[in-house]
Amino acid sequence: MARKKDLNSEILSVLIEEKAPVTVEEIGKIVGRSGKTVRNHLNSLAEFLKEEGMSLVKKPNVGVYLDVNEEQRVKLKSNYGNLKREETYDFRYRKEYILEILLINKFNYTMQMFADELYCSKSTIVNDLEAVEEWLENYSLKLKRKQNQGLWIEGEEIDFRKAIVEFFHDMDKSKNDEIAIDFEELDYRLSIRNFNKLKEFFSDIDLIKVQKSIQNSEKRLGYSFTDQAFLNLLAHIAITIKRVKGNQEIIMPDGYTKNIQGNKAYDIAKELLEELEEAFSLKFPEDETGYICLHMLGAKIQEDITDDNCKEILAVQNELYVKLAKEIIRVTSDILGVDMTKDDVLLTSLVLHIRPIIVRLENGLKLRNPMLETIKNEYTGIFGATWVSGSIFEKECGIMINEDEVAYIAMHIAAAVERSMKTYKTVIVCSSGIGTAQLIKTKLAKRFHNLEIIAVISAEKLSQSLIEQSDIIISTIPYNISSKKVVYVSALLNNEDIFKINRLLGSFNQRQESVLQPSDDDKGYAAEGFIESILIREKKSSTYIGKGLAIPHSKTEFVKKSKIAVIRLKRLMVYKHEMIDTIFILCIKMEGYDMAANVFGQFYEMLDDDSQIAELKKAYTPQKINEVLRRFNYGKIDK
């Protein structure tokens, strides 16, 4: 195990000899380790040097160097052999460390090398590799190992890239503070944390150049991507640059690139890559243009939809998208007991959202929804009801939807539900003056029809009288008001801010409880293949909806009659990293669905009532479960 004690010394030796700044990649080549490994040890070296009254300077896009005088340099040279680092890492860190080395870096690593660098036994690494293999299987990748050659990953290039971008989203938030840029250059849709994470992955790529190319593409397209879509596209392009530099090029399915060459997005993707070819001195194969075009077509765009422009937008949309949107609205309206069929803003929003959904699902792309957990917990009923849209996509398009996409649709549904409710007297407060506040007012007027704005003021003019008159206060600055009616937003009023306002409005509304008639006890509700269909769906995407609940369901073709079955587990079960104790198996048949809409409506209303969920979780027998459900007027659920 001598090697683990020597790596800090090896890196320090390089820095002592090189008086000019040296990059992390150059150090890695000298010591035979990855950039991540070098950065990891540089952090500990910085701590050691600080204790010795010296410092390690890290300059982005320049390199690192020792800030020492000649006397200190000589002293370090005589003592660096005594350097060592004693530290332990938890399972998650080790798993992420191993995956990043194998996915991102082109080093052949042995188990012993991982054990040395992570300060653990070789047997611990063997156990960690089992978890790594399981994770890779989700992307059809295989972990290979051979004596004297080390470990490596094998699989199709498109699967490699899917795995890399998902790993980026999964990994712990960046703890690296060495990244520094002029943040005025950073696009408003990129958080510092996400930029730092990307920079850790792609330290040799100028991400600001990539960002500018995407911004240029948006101008050519005539629309802007949402925060998450912009981040995803930046990540995919960075991955493309990294892989092409390493001669790891993608091969798109036969005929795909040819089929989309007439699309405007293809020409713009081509121009984007031409910009990057000049910026990074490399050549992209034609299939890479198709790959970037695919991600552009599947990207979620920022919408500027008002009552005034809905008809104009809908007039040029694909008939299938309009049909799907209308069916989703009809079914969720029936379930939730809220008529949204006349909401043109909802219809237009869903139609524009459906096109990229279909592109993503047909091509195996995933768009992470950063609000997923919040939607599950705050809008459990609406989220559950929106899962029915999955059956509509399966029936009309033959594609299976995932929970991230369901949550995006649920956000549109939740906004429509709020619009259908009463109006709220609203005060807008802004520290930076009336101009910013008026801009927020204009944006709010476009997004919300149920806000009656009674005042637009600066912070110092917010009086107790206004506070009492208002139902909701929207402020861009923290203000000492002990009231649940206040919501704090950014001056940009982005999608996350809109969601915060929707959530506050949702807390004001309570639906009236209606009575559910008992269902009959006939058996034979599902056809053969029902269970297999559920398992296939769950493998692709979890139906966990929060609060320890899951709502698995099959394709509609295996359902004979709409029903709900309840499973109460004797003990908590860990399922896809979530703790579950109650499962509702949904039998949803779209034909004749109107007859069962009331049943499902009451079921989804129950999901939003924490007290009813708590009562249900205390019931451990079919009789008790049935009793609880009947007591709350939800009828008799099959045992």
Per-residue pLDDT of 495-552, as tens digits, reads 778 878 877 876 665 433 332 233 333 456 777 888 887 777 777 677 777 778 887 8
Among 43-47, 287-291, 309-313, 605-609, the range with the most confident prediction by mean pLDDT is 287-291
Across the chain, mean pLDDT equals: 80
pTM score of the predicted model:
0.62
Contacts of residue 546, Cβ cutoff 8 Å, sequence gap at least 6: 373, 376, 377, 380, 383
Burial 445-454 (b: 16+ CB within 10 A, else e): ebbbeebebe
DSSP H or E stretch at residue 467 = helix 464-469
Q: How confident is the model at residue 2 (pLDDT cuts 50, 70, 90)?
A: very low
The structure tokens 């539900």 sit at 417
Q: How confident is the model at residue 636 (pLDDT cuts 50, 70, 90)?
A: very low
For residue range 135-150, what is the model confidence (pLDDT) as tens digits?
Answer: 999 899 999 988 877 8
Using the 8-state DSSP alphabet, how is residue 451 labeled? E
Domains, the chain = 2-82 (1.10.10.10), 91-155 (1.10.10.10), 183-297 (1.10.1790.10), 310-419 (1.10.1790.10), 424-508 (3.40.50.2300), 530-631 (3.40.930.10)
**Which amino acid does the sequence have at 637?**
I
- pLDDT average, residue stretch 269-290: 93
pLDDT higher at 492 or 159: 159
* pLDDT above 70 for 442: yes
Q: Which of 299, 231, 240 is nearest to 265 (CA)?
A: 299
The per-residue pLDDT for 637 is: 43
**Which amino acid does the sequence have at 595?**
M
Q: How confident is the model at residue 631 (pLDDT cuts 50, 70, 90)?
A: low
Could you please report the per-residue DSSP string of 59-112? ETTTEEEEE--HHHHHHHHHHGGG--------HHHHHHHHHHHHHH----B-HH
The per-residue pLDDT for 599 is: 56
**Which amino acid does the sequence have at 29?**
K
The per-residue pLDDT for 307 is: 80
The structure tokens 């909401």 sit at 343
- pLDDT average, residue stretch 146-174: 85
The per-residue pLDDT for 277 is: 94
The per-residue pLDDT for 137 is: 92
For residue range 228-239, what is the model confidence (pLDDT) as tens digits?
Answer: 889 999 999 999
For residue range 325-336, what is the model confidence (pLDDT) as tens digits?
Answer: 999 999 888 888
pLDDT higher at 503 or 412: 412
Q: How confident is the model at residue 48 (pLDDT cuts 50, 70, 90)?
A: confident
Q: Which of 128, 134, 129, 109 is nearest to 28 (CA)?
A: 109
- pLDDT average, residue stretch 424-447: 76
Asked if residue 431 lies in contact with residue 403, where contact means CB atoms within 8 angstroms, the answer is no
The per-residue pLDDT for 613 is: 80
- Using CA of residue 287, residue 288, residue 293, residue 294, what is the dihedral sign? positive
The per-residue pLDDT for 348 is: 92
* pLDDT above 50 for 305: yes
Q: How confident is the model at residue 593 (pLDDT cuts 50, 70, 90)?
A: low
Asked if residue 429 lies in contact with residue 448, where contact means CB atoms within 8 angstroms, the answer is no
For residue range 72-88, what is the model confidence (pLDDT) as tens digits?
Answer: 877 777 666 555 544 56
The structure tokens 């398992």 sit at 535
* pLDDT above 70 for 297: yes
Q: In percent, how much of the chain has pLDDT > 90?
A: 20
- pLDDT average, residue stretch 350-358: 90
- pLDDT average, residue stretch 615-623: 76
- pLDDT average, residue stretch 625-638: 57
Cα–Cα distances in angstroms (integers) from residue 461 to residues 265, 441, 456, 466, in the given order: 49, 17, 10, 9
For residue range 99-111, what is the model confidence (pLDDT) as tens digits?
Answer: 988 998 766 788 9
**Which amino acid does the sequence have at 635?**
G
Q: In percent, how much of the chain has pLDDT > 70?
A: 85
Using the 8-state DSSP alphabet, how is residue 494 labeled? -
DSSP H or E stretch at residue 378 = helix 372-378
**In this structure, what token pair is assigned to residue 374?**
């919040």
**In this structure, what token pair is assigned to residue 408?**
């995006």
Query: What number of residues does the chain have?
Result: 639
* pLDDT above 50 for 179: no
- pLDDT average, residue stretch 258-275: 89
- pLDDT average, residue stretch 198-225: 90
Contacts 24+ apart (CB under 8 A), 315-318: 317/351, 317/352, 318/355
**Which amino acid does the sequence have at 367?**
L
- pLDDT average, residue stretch 378-407: 85
